[in-house]
């Protein structure tokens, strides 16, 4: 199963972006502050469409936090990322 994923990722790499989209982060922050895990997961899917060069480890961390449903910590991390982007 891991080999299949690695092969798929190699054959179909994600588009690269410098950093996550500011608007997507703002939307994700809003749904986290409203404690809406379903919409948070939908926003995470948007973030996962790309491979980021400068995301401060955010994308990988989000996957773990969403799995653990730690929505308050997600909001804290997004605020950090938004402040870095200013």
User: What does R_g of the chain's alpha carbons equal in angstroms?
Assistant: 13
Cα distance between residue 79 and residue 83, in whole Å:
6
- pLDDT of res. 52: 86
Cβ–Cβ < 8 Å for 53, 16 = yes
Domain ranges of the chain: 17-85
Mean per-residue pLDDT pooled into runs of 10, the chain (86 residues): 54 85 88 88 84 79 78 86 79
pLDDT of residue 24: 86
Confidence (pLDDT) at 8:
55
* Whole-number pLDDT of residue 30: 92
């Amino acid at each position: 199963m891991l080999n299949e994923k690695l092969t798929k990722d190699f054959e179909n790499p994600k588009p690269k972006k410098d950093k996550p989209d500011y608007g997507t982060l703002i939307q994700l922050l809003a749904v986290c502050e409203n404690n809406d895990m379903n919409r948070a997961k939908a926003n995470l899917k948007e973030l996962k469409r790309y491979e980021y060069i400068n995301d401060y480890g955010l994308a990988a961390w989000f996957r773990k936090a969403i799995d653990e449903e730690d929505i308050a910590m997600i909001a804290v991390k997004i605020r950090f990322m938004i402040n870095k982007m200013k």
